[in-house]
Amino acid sequence: MLKFNKGAMFGLDARIALAIFGALSVISGAALYSAIQNSKATSLLSKMNEVGKAWEVYYLDTGVNLPQSELSDNANYKFYQLRSNYLVEDSGAAGWRGPYISYNVHVDGEMLNEESNTNIYLTLVTKEETWGDDKDWDAGSCVSGKQCYNAIFFSGNDESIAVLADKQVDNGDGAGKGNFRWYTKVDSKKTRALLVYAPVKNPND
């Protein structure tokens, strides 16, 4: 007569149950991590759109775009950077009724930042293809003769968050295309993200 070792069977059942539990834990942990990362990407885009909406109200109140930080293209990127601090501080433009957003003004006085020291500003760009990584970023500059757009710039992100944000905005077309673009600095490993927001008159024509 065959005899079953109940203790051995119980031990086997327990090991199977533990293996299943462990596998489910890994799966649920990965799903939770993915959900957290996607939430961070959504939060980034929400913040960028908040800055865009603040600019819209500023524009509606004053009838003018935010002024450029510098008026000479010898000033490099500041020629295309806008005085985003005027979303918080009175620009002197007729009709200003701000502050339009609750960020801090950066120490340089021309852009905004969060407590995390994320630099935030609006800039003038084109939407032509193939710019977005570090070496090609200048190809998106709003030079004379181009259709230009206001775009919101956030620094200090992780590249993984930028990739997920790009999926939400542009179906993941990459760093150099579409309305969401980014590049990661080699030295700091921090990613600079840019969201093309709205078409504007080219001030350099």
pLDDT, average across residues 58-68? 94
Q: What is the pLDDT of residue 25?
A: 58
When mean pLDDT is compared over 1-10, 59-68, 140-149, the highest value belongs to 59-68
Structural domain includes residue 205 = no
Ramachandran area for residue 40 (φ above 0: left; ψ -120 to 50: alpha; else beta): alpha
Identify the helix (H) or strand (E) that includes residue 83.
none
Residue 77 lies in a domain: yes
Determine contact, residues 157/44, Cβ cutoff 8 Å. Answer: yes
Residue range(s) defining the domain that contains residue 17:
6-200
Query: At residue 5, does pLDDT exceed 60?
Result: no
pLDDT mean across residues, the chain: 84
**pTM of the shown model:** 0.82
Q: What's 132's DSSP letter?
A: -
Residue 106 lies in a domain: yes
**Residue 26 pLDDT > 60, yes or no?**
no
Structure confidence at residue 139 as a pLDDT band (50, 70, 90): confident
pLDDT of residue 80: 87
Query: Per the structure, how many domains does the chain have?
Result: 1
The region of weakest confidence among 83-87, 137-141, 144-148 is 137-141
Tell the burial category of 25 from Cβ atoms under 10 Å away from its Cβ (0-12, 13-18, 19+): exposed
Backbone angles phi, psi at 21, to 5 degrees: -60, -40
38 occurs within a structural domain: yes
* Reported confidence tier of residue 74, pLDDT bands at 50, 70, 90: low
- Dihedral pair phi/psi, residue 53, rounded to 5°: -70, -35
Element (H, E) at 47: helix 6-62
Q: Which residue matches tokens 């006085």?
A: 109
Given pLDDT bands bounded at 50, 70 and 90, which one contains residue 147? Answer: very high
Query: Can you tell me whether residue 182 is helix, strand or coil?
Result: strand
Instruction: Report the pLDDT value the prediction gives residue 120, as an integer from 0 to 100.
Output: 93
Predicted pLDDT at 108 = 83
How big is the CA angle at 44 (ends 43 and 45), to the nearest 5 degrees? 90
Distance CA 15, CA 24 (A): 14
Task: Compute the average pLDDT of residues 137-154.
Answer: 89
* Mean pLDDT, residues 151-162: 91
User: How far apart, in whole angstroms, are the C-alpha atoms of residue 67 and residue 71?
Assistant: 9
User: Residue 33 domain-assigned?
Assistant: yes
Residue 46 lies in a domain: yes
Average pLDDT over residues 149-153: 95
